[in-house]
A and B are shown apart, each in its own frame.
Chain A
């Protein structure tokens, strides 16, 4: 079993839809969780950073962490064509391990159609 599983998609939605992106992980030692957005031929851009279970909201984006289920989600409300990108989940901060490393999912390719 891979440490981080993320459905690669592709996911195609109409403009204005609510998008749900998810990752599962197997290592219960992960302490913090991030979502990155990567446009084609660009570097990943940090979108959300969370440290605990629960929800964190930033504008149209909500990050959700459920440590008991080892499951994280990113919700995008009122999706826009400019949200079309690959979304990468990442996690790190392993207790007793290399707590400075991030482990990434493979990314989900999202297209929002006007």
Chain B
């Protein structure tokens, strides 16, 4: 079956611009995660969605970051007024309840010039 997909695969933007990153989870997976992976920093948790529950936003690094999940499926991560330190790979993962295994997409490589 289809895995997690993310778009775009690469995004180059100028400092100060807004960007939107998209994630399509595996069909039927109710849980969705966003992570950020920077060189030498490992995977950093950003936000978690589970069904209709309020998301866990505890990992968002600043109020320039936001995410939504429409219809319990597709999710969009938005970064406003991008800064150079936002350059990283943004990974999305989904999980089927009640299981623990998370399945990752290929990521979006964001470069802020």
Contacts and interface: CB of A to CB of B under 8 A. Distances in A.
B21 to A, nearest CB: 13
B102 A46 contact: yes
Contacts of B43: 44, 88, 90, 102, 104
A49 B45 contact: no
Given A101-B48, A105-B42, A106-B42, A44 B56 contact: no
Given A98-B56, A100-B50, A106-B40, A43 B105 contact: yes
B42 A43 contact: no
B48 A100 contact: yes
19 contacts: A34-B100, A34-B101, A42-B106, A43-B4, A43-B6, A43-B105, A43-B106, A44-B104, A45-B104, A49-B100, A49-B101, A90-B43, A98-B56, A100-B50, A100-B56, A101-B56, A104-B42, A105-B42, A107-B42
Interface residues on A, range: 20 to 34
Interface of A: 8, 32, 34, 36, 41-46, 49, 88, 90, 92-93, 98, 100-102, 104-107
Contact of B103 (A32, A46, A90, A101): A46
Contacts of A92: 100
